Structure 1
Amino acid sequence: MAKAPTVEDVAAHAGVSRQTVSNVLNTPDIVKPATRERVLASIDELGYRRHAAARRLRLRRSSTIGIRLDPYLGGVSGVVLDRFVHAITDRSSERGMRMLVYAARTPEEELARLAELWEGSEIDAAILTGTVRDDQRVGRLDAVGLPFISFGRPWGDDDIADPTHLWVDVDGAAGTRAATEHALQRGGFVSFLGWPSGSGTGDDRERGWREAIDASGAQGARIVSEDSVQGARHAIAAALTDDTRADAIVCASDSLAVGALLALADAGVRMPVIGFDNTPTAEALGFSSVEQRPEDVAEAVLQLLMGPTGDVVSPRRVESGEAHALITPELVIR
């Protein structure tokens, strides 16, 4: 049986010192990019992998990242976060890390649970999901010193030009812009079925629709509904009663798209409906939808939180252009 490669083997192969290899594994930002890439190439070629238990003991780290398991709400669109949790668990395992999934019904419960895990040295970092404008969790986690990254923007001071925290998000505006541009091939009037104003995610998706409409000189009506099938069904039925004409409908979620399709079927009207989330429901019913690519989100989260090696938590510096990743979604046409 061949002997497993060591740090010394990697150092010799890459032509660097043992300390440089250690720096690449533990604090990659302090190593010159060219040297770092050479060491990483040697690690890949030799198949080097540190023993996780020994690493945890030596570095006094848990090699564990915490993430909340959202309450089960049913419905159409809940599978996106499920896919993300599965992907982040799979990819963190490949990097020698573990995920600790915990339950919390409210932000206060989540903060209390994270503080307990952090003080007990059970986690090295946390991933926040379900972010909202001026998210209270951000300041609280800063106060206790827990490294974290969010899937979704806090939608407040944290932005692309002047970030103060690490985050990864899906470019919702790009998704609905692509969906609207595709829908405009069917006619010059494309409606948008979205959520009430005030939701950062919802407003972003509406913005993409507006930008595509304005750029093309087309027209469109904004229709509002809560994020439910029945709510969307009633909203579209009311719009049809008001004689709001449309050549296609772009929706902020697949739940809204299903409701729109039901309302159109009730009225005997046929037109393209495009959803957002590309859930199994969209595939089963055969309507086009925007794919968020949560697997790419998971990879970007680990890159920002752990650097290119994923060996230990080593958050990237919070600098403009370096503290975030926007994942471009893909329009799946059916």
Structure 2
Amino acid sequence: MSGMPTVDDVARAAGVSRQTVSNVLNSPEIVRETTRERVLDAIDRLGYRPHASARRLRTRKSSTIAVRIDPWRDGISGIVLDRFLHQLTEQADRRGLRVMVFSADDHADELARIRRLREGSDIDAFVLTATTHDDERIRALTDQGVPFVAFGRPWDPETRAVPHRWVDVDGRVGVAAAVQHLRAHGARRVAWIGWPHGSGTGDERRAGWEAESGLGDRERASLSRHTEDGVTEGTRCAGELLALAEPPDAIVCASDSLALGAMIAARSAGLPALPVVGFDDTPIAAAVGLSSIEQPLDDVVAAALELLFGPTGDDVRPNPSSDEEPAHRLLAPRLVERRPGHLALDAIPGT
């Protein structure tokens, strides 16, 4: 076979008709699973790519999903969304889909921009990020019938009552596993540095620390700090903790930005091997030897696209109704432990 593979090439390789190949690409739910797997295997082997432009003209669909990019914060925390967008673009491309990014000042501005994009027939579906308490976007898009999936769970009863698709990473489980690991290696006073109360994501991560810290109420209050995200803030909070009469023997943080600050404070205090764990496993964490909790962003994106478009294909599904099966995925992160910046506790003199 020379040149780019065609639908006929795939049909011959899979031993099926041309229409069956088309059905697998466009309406996979009507094809028997064994046949579908055979066709998908042939597509992978041959490297077949559907002609997305022709299909867009035929179906009058844009085959485009859109996602808002947040205002730039610091270079560490912003990397998480960058990685998410890269994964979304790559996986969408494999389905013949395109990704459009747009900016907005706040939720109200985001909704206005979504409305304009929909009116211009430019977008088939949207991905919401960074869900919050009383998130007005979820109710508004559901009421308007705009297909979407949220990267972030609903954080309050009112929002949970609105049927919608979402994918999230279980921060509580991730932090709890990190604290369990530290305690198993000898830590007795694991401190917490997180965001101000009211952040759904931050509160969930703190809950994992509280559940596994083994500390009483008074000790938890003494060994926890809450601040806005940032390296400087992490340094300040860790400095306060290390100056206590009974300082912590390990610190877990809600983000890599805070953890990097805690690492700096520990080194300044003459404790370069003090275990510090961040969250998000950003490239800076790998560069400086910072242990961190990794979000499985490739799995997050795969789940989001499957919820929107089904296991394969690029036909967007309507928003769920109240009697549909729960349309969400909650994924577990994993601890990435690094050395020499974080030696085992039993290797630290005096522990």
TM-score with structure 2 setting the length = 0.83
Q: Per the alignment, in what secondary structure is the counterpart of residue 80 of structure 1? A: helix
Q: 1:330 to 1:14 in 2, by over 3 A?
A: farther
1:14 and 1:117 mapped to 2: Cα distance?
Answer: 42
Given candidates 266, 269, 292, the residue that maps to 1:267 is 269
Partner of 2:336: 332
Structure 1 residue 88: Cα displacement? 0.7
Partner of 1:114: 114
Partner of 1:10: 11
Partner of 2:309: 306
Partner of 2:167: 168
CA RMSD of aligned residues (A): 2.8
Q: Is the 8 A contact 1:168 1:297 kept in 2?
A: yes
Alignment pair present for 1:278 and 2:281 = yes
Q: Per the alignment, in what secondary structure is the counterpart of residue 186 of structure 1? A: coil
When structure 1 is superposed on structure 2, of 190-199 and 21-30 the one drifting more is 21-30
Q: 1:144 to 1:230 in 2, by over 3 A?
A: same
**Counterpart amino acid of residue 105 in structure 1:** D
Q: 1:30 to 1:201 in 2, by over 3 A?
A: farther
Structure 1 residue 227: Cα displacement? 1.3
2:254 and 2:52 mapped to 1: Cα distance?
Answer: 42
1:280 and 1:8 mapped to 2: Cα distance?
Answer: 42
When structure 1 is superposed on structure 2, of 7-16 and 257-266 the one drifting more is 7-16
Structure 1 residue 126: Cα displacement? 0.5
For residues 68-123 of structure 1, give each alpha carbon's deviation from its aligned partner in whole angstroms, at most 9, with x where no partner exists: 12211224221000011111111111211111111111111111111111111100
Q: Per the alignment, in what secondary structure is the counterpart of residue 213 of structure 2? A: helix
Alignment pair present for 1:97 and 2:101 = no
2:162 and 2:39 mapped to 1: Cα distance?
Answer: 30
1:39 and 1:292 mapped to 2: Cα distance?
Answer: 32
**Counterpart amino acid of residue 206 in structure 2:** E
The number of residue pairs the alignment matches comes to: 328
1:230 and 1:9 mapped to 2: Cα distance?
Answer: 56
Structure 1 residue 293: Cα displacement? 2.6
**Counterpart amino acid of residue 317 in structure 2:** S
**Counterpart amino acid of residue 256 in structure 2:** D
Structure 1 residue 174: Cα displacement? 1.9
**Counterpart amino acid of residue 85 in structure 2:** V
The answer for unaligned runs of 5 or more in structure 1 is none
Q: Is the 8 A contact 2:256 2:282 kept in 1?
A: yes
Partner of 1:142: 142
TM-score with structure 1 setting the length = 0.87
Alignment pair present for 1:226 and 2:228 = yes
Percent identity for Structure 1 against Structure 2: 48
Structure 1 residue 35: Cα displacement? 5.1
1:255 and 1:226 mapped to 2: Cα distance?
Answer: 10
Partner of 2:299: 296
1:77 and 1:190 mapped to 2: Cα distance?
Answer: 23
For residues 19-64 of structure 1, give each alpha carbon's deviation from its aligned partner in whole angstroms, at most 9, with x where no partner exists: x654443343455545544543454455543211110011110011
**Counterpart amino acid of residue 329 in structure 1:** P
Q: Is the 8 A contact 2:14 2:38 kept in 1?
A: no
The answer for unaligned runs of 5 or more in structure 2 is 339-351
Q: Per the alignment, in what secondary structure is the counterpart of residue 68 of structure 2? A: strand
When structure 1 is superposed on structure 2, of 149-158 and 315-324 the one drifting more is 315-324
1:11 and 1:149 mapped to 2: Cα distance?
Answer: 37
2:143 and 2:319 mapped to 1: Cα distance?
Answer: 19
Q: 1:290 to 1:12 in 2, by over 3 A?
A: closer
Q: Per the alignment, in what secondary structure is the counterpart of residue 71 of structure 1? A: coil
**Counterpart amino acid of residue 175 in structure 1:** G
For residues 192-211 of structure 1, give each alpha carbon's deviation from its aligned partner in whole angstroms, at most 9, with x where no partner exists: 21112211101111122223
Structure 1 residue 311: Cα displacement? 2.8
Partner of 2:84: 84
Partner of 1:51: 51
